[in-house]
Structure 1
């Protein structure tokens, strides 16, 4: 299982980078590939007990969620309500 997480994370991360680099209408799906990579590598880091890698992947997951939001994917937990400033 550890090998699967390592390799799926690596391949998904490369696919995400490739999609974003192509700058096409499909580029936004690179963020989904990054999310898959982040989740796989979080599992990998936990599985091998490497907590520095875990912290890095959790940070990358946050930036990936921001990328997904900015790419137009609906993320209800990131929705900001328009409120006038008092």
Structure 2
């Protein structure tokens, strides 16, 4: 299980980086890959008791959520008028 999480997180992180680097119409989906990679690596970090890695991935998750929002993939809240 831990090995699967490690490889899933690593490969999804690479996919996310590649998509963003292409600077194409599909680039914004790299943020989804990053978010999934963050989740996988956070569970992996918990499984191996590495809390520094957990904190790092939690911080990266924040940047992934910001990227999703800025790319228009995170629903925007409408303020009632």
Shorter-chain TM-score range: over 0.9
Structure 2 gaps, min length 5: none
Q: TM-score, normalised by structure 1?
A: 0.87
- Deviation above 2 Å: which 4+ runs of structure 1? 79-83
Q: CA deviation at 1:80?
A: 6.9
1:42 paired to 2:46: no
**Distance (Å, rounded) in 1 between the aligned partners of 2:72 and 2:4:** 30
CA RMSD of aligned residues (A): 1.6
Residue in 1 that maps onto 2:18: 18
Q: CA deviation at 1:81?
A: 3.7
**Distance (Å, rounded) in 2 between the aligned partners of 1:32 and 1:19:** 10
Tell which structure's C-alpha radius of gyration is larger.
1
Deviations along 1:22-80, whole A, 9 cap, x unmatched?
0000000000000010000000000000000000000000110000000001336xx37
Q: How does 1:45-64 map to 2 (within 5 A)?
A: 45-64=45-64
1:67 paired to 2:51: no
